[in-house]
Amino acid sequence: MVSQIGQVVLLRELLMVFYGSELSIGIILASWMFWVGVGSWAGMVLAERVRRPLSISAGAAAGVLLLLPATVLGSRLLRGFFDVVPGEYLSFSATALGSVLLMAPGCLLIGVQFVFVARLWREQTGACDTSGGAKTYLFEAWGDAIAGTLFSLLLVHYLNPFHLVLGAAALMAATVVGLGIRAALRHPGRRTVKLIGVAALALLVVAAAGAFPYLGRLDDLAYQEQWRLFAPDQELVETRRSKYGTISVVRREDQYSFFQSGHLAFSTAEEDAVAYQLEESPAAEFAHFALAQHRSPRRILLIGGGLRGVLREILRHPVVEQVDYVEPDVVMVETASRYVPRETRAALASPRVEVIPTDGRLFVKETDRTYDLILIDVPDPATAVLNRFYTTEFFHEAAERLESDGVLATGVTSTSDLRGSAVVNQNATVYHTLRTAFDHVLPVGDLFCYFFASNDPDQLSADPEVLRHRFADRAVEAEAFSEWYFHTLLEEAPLLRRHWILLHHGRHPEAHRTTPETGPLFPAPIAEQLAGEADLPPVYERYFINSDFRPIGYFHSLVLWNRRVDRERAEIFRRILNVRGWWIWPIIGGFLLLQLVLRAAGRRLTGRADAHYAILFTIFTTGLATMTLQITLLFAFQSIYGFVYEMIGLIVAMFMAGLGLGAALTRRRALVEVPVRPLAFIQLCIAAFAFVIALVLPLAAAAGASWITFLGFSVITFGGGLMNGAGFPLAAACCMGLNRRTEKSTGIAYGTELFGACVGAVLAGAVVAPVIGILACCVLAGIMNSTAFVLILVSRNASWKTNNKMPQPG
């Protein structure tokens, strides 16, 4: 429970520092698992040398009790350790280094604790096998499931991060105090020394309990210092928590900015403030430009943007009869309502507006309402969560919610000339993806590119006079927008050149690596450009069609962001785009070749080198499969439910519950014999299950009713956890059969599995899912576990000839 709560709390804290992309999540989780794995290996060495394991366990509990709150505090102060300009996000290299250094102390002790708890359990039962490690693994998985559920549904709403980690660590320390008292009463020898140690730890627990009333103040001070490091010229006005993340309100003179988990959501100012027109102009431009693209927009769906002023500007059009404003975070609405302009507050209360507190993607999928105009006002797809609003699946769902002459409006960051490969890749991906759902797409803009899409050939217009007359005929009164802006935004030469570049870019296998073509000096009108499209090569879908199961748009945005904060490291991401799926086969061939070499050498050396290699590889691939399948399920589930932390928390809890049940089902088999054959069978089952997930997952995601989707994901998740959990007791027992050392076997098995999960987190989150596809994560897991099955069969035939029985007590 300590591990799960600590992991989730630090994940949320560091996402505020690292901009919140899924790449950051992969790095954070990889750092956590790496250091817990190192701690497990260190515990393995210590456990064979220490005579009083309870003392080490007590020391580890005391260390975790002190270090976890300190780690939370360190995450708030992390920016101070890097040379970054105020307001600038940390680079990829700083993200990786910060995660690795910050996680090390506490995670090392958690890894050590696992091995010593396993030894204490073994000694209590008098066993001489790995049953203690298997039971520890089992109850740890169930503790993860319970803690994840409690955190998502209850704890996160009432306790701050310091309360959570200190309370969980104090609970573990109090448990160790109980063990110490029991040991002192049952064993009179050195009772005084034991009771002194127990009393010291108990005193630390009491001190932690006494600190609880002051943790709220510590939380506030830590947030203040965090924002001082990020933006020293801004004042942190308020911090609130919701199920979607931490909301921070900062002020600079008359301007208020709202951040959600580190993302700048929007900025605003009161009507009489100097910065009012500056802040309201982008919102007004987007709203009026979008509404002018439709001849008579009566029913409108707005996803996001209402609090920054888009909703207010929409209502200035008298023709509008109904606006459905979807904003999932009620806490954000309540918080922002105290700072946004009076007109925005009035718009939220307008009888023409219905505020719908749900996820925008989920609402579009399930509603039966239809609209004349849908406005998507969310940030760039720099995370997989935001990328959901830029995929071909979402655009098709949105098209079904539009009337036959309806218009969809969205946009992303751009440049005036589209010269950089990163920015043109992002813009071209949005353009080509929209073209999969709409017949007509009009890109317009400068530093921000608006995309207007419709299936009606006469609805969209690039003629500024047409739009000006539509706007003027409605007698719209807007201080932040003038009808003459249409001439500025629709200047003919830049408009035609932008369309030409986006239409042509992405039609070559290497387009994602090159700068866009300059094109003709005077491009043809848009209609003529589209008429010649049939003579162009097809769009290279791998890099320029964004989908739920291949979120390449998220990766292009990630490259663009990194070029702004860390140009040299951005080249790493460009190289990742060159990854090919077939590269896995030479790697698998290398693993198999090494097995054959070890088998041949083993006949002249130890005779068991290939067996050691096969078992370690199997444990490693089990951890890798566990993490890649988790990432697959979370990405896919997220594409439907978005930021619904309760459901995602339940999904993770179901996975861990399955993990615990799987360990419970196989741990007894490991007490009698070295379970080589069952371990091989489990690898085959995991591989088959991973391939089945790749086939079933798109069907589950496409289910009409959300409860059917949730049920399908739950079954898949529980089954995945069940099969992965079944492997650990068997793998630990096989290690025991090779080296005949209990604590070493437990530490090796646990640590190696975590190292596999560490690699899986980086590969799946940063490379496989965005570049090759989410379903490729399942294929990767299946291939790796199939390889482990083959290695076990080869090593079993060569090396598992004697000593197949597990050692028995006495």
Query: Distances from the Cα of 465 to the Cαs of 292, 473, 487, 669, in angstroms?
Result: 11, 12, 8, 79
Q: Above 50 in pLDDT, residue 809?
A: no
Query: Distances from the Cα of 503 to the Cαs of 262, 512, 551, 621, in angstroms?
Result: 34, 14, 20, 43
* Spatial distance between the Cα atoms of 479 and 380, rounded to a whole number of angstroms: 27
Burial letters 59-88, b for 16+ CB under 10 A, else e: bbbbbbbbbbbebbbbbbebbeebebeeee
Average pLDDT value for residue range 208-215: 92
Average pLDDT value for residue range 69-86: 84
Average pLDDT value for residue range 482-496: 88
Query: Is the pLDDT higher at 321 or at 483?
Result: 321
Please, what is the Cα angle at 54 between 51 and 56, to 5 degrees?
A: 80
Burial letters 236-249, b for 16+ CB under 10 A, else e: beebebbbbbbbbb
* Tokens of residue 752, six digits: 């190696």
Task: For 33-46, write each residue's pLDDT tens digit.
Answer: 899 999 998 988 88
Residue in this structure with the two tokens 């179901």, named with its chain if needed: 654
Task: For 333-390, write each residue's pLDDT tens digit.
Answer: 889 888 888 888 899 999 999 999 988 988 998 899 999 999 999 988 887 778 889 9
* Spatial distance between the Cα atoms of 166 and 183, rounded to a whole number of angstroms: 25
Identify whether the C-beta of residue 441 lies closer than 8 Å to the C-beta of residue 452: yes
Which of 740, 759, 753 has the alpha carbon at shortest distance from 807?
740
pLDDT of amino acid 275: 52
Identify whether the C-beta of residue 297 lies closer than 8 Å to the C-beta of residue 291: yes
Task: For 380-397, write each residue's pLDDT tens digit.
Answer: 888 777 888 999 999 999
* Spatial distance between the Cα atoms of 507 and 540, rounded to a whole number of angstroms: 5
* Spatial distance between the Cα atoms of 179 and 173, rounded to a whole number of angstroms: 10
Is 298 in a helix, a strand, or coil? coil
pLDDT of amino acid 605: 47
Q: How far is CA 135 from the centre of its chain?
A: 30
Count of beta carbons in the 10 Å neighbourhood of residue 503: 24
pLDDT of amino acid 88: 66
* Spatial distance between the Cα atoms of 685 and 415, rounded to a whole number of angstroms: 50
Average pLDDT value for residue range 64-85: 87
Greatest alpha-carbon pair distance for the chain in Å reads: 95
Average pLDDT value for residue range 302-314: 91
* Spatial distance between the Cα atoms of 354 and 597, rounded to a whole number of angstroms: 69
Task: For 627-651, write each residue's pLDDT tens digit.
Answer: 888 778 777 777 666 654 455 566 6
Least confident of 92-106, 279-293, 316-330, 657-671: 657-671
Which of 454, 384, 453, 444 has the alpha carbon at shortest distance from 418?
444
Task: For 732-742, write each residue's pLDDT tens digit.
Answer: 888 877 777 77
- Are β-strands 440-445 and 402-413 bridged in parallel, bridged antiparallel, or unpaired? unpaired
Sign of the dihedral defined by the CA atoms of residues 583, 385, 4, 148, in that order: negative
Residues above pLDDT 90, as percent of the chain: 30
Q: Which amino acid is at 675?
A: P
Q: How far is CA 490 from the centre of its chain?
A: 38
Residue in this structure with the two tokens 């890109």, named with its chain if needed: 443
pLDDT of amino acid 499: 93
Q: Which amino acid is at 642?
A: G
Confidence band, pLDDT 50/70/90 cuts, at residue 20: low
- Residue 514, Ramachandran bin (φ over 0: left; ψ between -120 and 50: alpha; else beta): beta
CA Rg value for the chain: 29
The pTM assigned to this predicted structure is 0.83
Least confident of 103-117, 322-336, 600-614, 794-808: 794-808
pLDDT of amino acid 192: 65
CB < 8 Å & 24+ apart, contacts of 462-466: 462/490, 462/495, 462/526, 463/490, 464/489, 464/490
pLDDT of amino acid 802: 44
Identify whether the C-beta of residue 622 lies closer than 8 Å to the C-beta of residue 792: no
Task: For 576-601, write each residue's pLDDT tens digit.
Answer: 777 888 888 999 999 989 888 887 77
Q: What is the 3-state secondary structure (H, E, C) of 71-129?
A: HHHHHHCHHHHCCCCCCCCCCHHHHHHHHHHHHHHHHHHHHHHHHHHHHHHHHHHCCCC
Looking at the chain, the number of H-run helices and the number of E-run strands are: 31, 11
The DSSP H or E segment spanning 408 is strand 402-413
Task: For 540-573, write each residue's pLDDT tens digit.
Answer: 998 899 998 888 888 888 788 777 666 655 666 7
pLDDT of amino acid 782: 92
pLDDT of amino acid 271: 63
DSSP code, position 351: T
Sign of the dihedral defined by the CA atoms of residues 229, 230, 233, 236, in that order: negative
Show which residues are catalytic.
Answer: 377
Residues 6+ apart with CB under 8 A from 566: 91, 92, 93, 94
Task: For 111-159, write each residue's pLDDT tens digit.
Answer: 999 999 988 888 887 777 777 888 888 898 889 888 888 887 788 778 8
Which of 629, 655, 619 has the alpha carbon at shortest distance from 730?
619
DSSP code, position 512: G
